[in-house]
Amino acid sequence: MKALQREMGDVEITEASVREYIAKMTPEQRLRLQNEGKDLKQELLTNTDHKEELQVFRKEVNAKAEAAGLPVEKDGEHLGRKLLTHMRSSTDAPPYLLVLEAIASCSFLVKLAVAEVREGAPKAAPEDLATIEEGLRRLKVHGWRSEEEEAGRAPFVRRNLLLLHFVLYCEKIELSLQESTQRALSELQHKVKTIADMLFQYCLQNRWVKAALTVTEVEAMLVSGVWDHKDDECRELMKAKWTRQGLKVPKLTISANAADVECGAQATIKVEVTRLHAYSAEELAEVLKDQGPTGAGKQAEQPQPKEGWWVIAEGIRTQKGADKAKCTEVLAGEEELSHNSLVGGQVLACTLDAPMMACEINFEAPAHPGEYKVMVHVRNTGCAGVDVRRKVTFQVKQPYTGRGKATAAADDVPELD
Q: What is the CATH number of the domain that holds 374?
A: 2.60.40.150
144 assigned to some structural domain: yes
Q: Are residues 202 and 279 in the same domain?
A: no
Q: Are residues 85 and 179 in the same domain?
A: yes
Q: Are residues 124 and 187 in the same domain?
A: yes
> Which residue range is the domain that position 288 belongs to?
245-292+302-397
126 assigned to some structural domain: yes
34 assigned to some structural domain: no
pLDDT tens digits for 310-364?
999 999 986 543 343 333 333 333 445 789 999 999 999 999 999 999 999 999 9
User: In CATH, what number is assigned to the domain containing residue 86?
Assistant: 1.10.3380
Give the predicted TM-score (pTM) of the model: 0.78
Report yes or no: 375 and 389 within 8 Å, Cβ to Cβ.
yes
348 assigned to some structural domain: yes
Looking at residue 48, its pLDDT comes to: 62
Q: Are residues 263 and 185 in the same domain?
A: no
Report the 10 Å Cβ neighbour count for 308: 11
pLDDT tens digits for 116-160?
777 777 899 999 999 999 999 999 999 999 888 888 889 999 999
Name the helix (H) or strand (E) containing 390: strand 388-397
Quote the CA–CA distance of 177 and 128 in Å, as a whole number: 6
Q: Are residues 220 and 249 in the same domain?
A: no
37 assigned to some structural domain: no
260 assigned to some structural domain: yes
Q: Helices 209-224 and 155-169, interaxial angle, to 10°?
A: 70
Q: Which of 19-33, 85-99, 218-232 is predicted with the least confidence, judged by mean pLDDT?
A: 19-33
Q: Are residues 110 and 144 in the same domain?
A: yes
Q: Are residues 271 and 329 in the same domain?
A: yes
Closest CA to 372 of 208, 259, 271, 270: 259
220 assigned to some structural domain: yes
pLDDT tens digits for 28-85?
666 676 666 655 555 545 566 656 665 655 666 566 756 666 777 888 889 999 999 9
96 HSE (CA, 13 A, CB side) = 19
Q: Are residues 191 and 330 in the same domain?
A: no
Handedness of CA 260, 311, 217, 287 (dihedral sign): negative
pLDDT tens digits for 89-112?
999 999 999 999 999 999 888 888
31 assigned to some structural domain: no
What percent of the chain shows pLDDT beyond 90?
55
Q: Are residues 321 and 387 in the same domain?
A: yes
Quote the CA–CA distance of 286 and 374 in Å, as a whole number: 40
Asked if the model's pLDDT at residue 262 lies above 90, the reply is: yes
Closest CA to 265 of 362, 361, 360, 364: 364
Q: Are residues 78 and 210 in the same domain?
A: yes
Looking at residue 68, its pLDDT comes to: 65
Q: Are residues 135 and 189 in the same domain?
A: yes
Find residue 345's DSSP bridge partners: 312
Q: Which residues of 186-211 are buried (b: 16+ CB within 10 A; e: fewer)?
A: ebbeebbeebbebbbebbbebbbbbb
Please state the domain count of the chain. 2
Q: How does DSSP classify residue 50?
A: G
Q: What is the CA radius of gyration of the chain?
A: 25
Q: Are residues 254 and 162 in the same domain?
A: no
Q: State phi, psi for 365 to the nearest 5 degrees.
A: -65, 150
Across residues 216-235, what is the average pLDDT? 94
Amino acid at residue number 81: R
Closest CA to 220 of 195, 193, 188, 184: 193
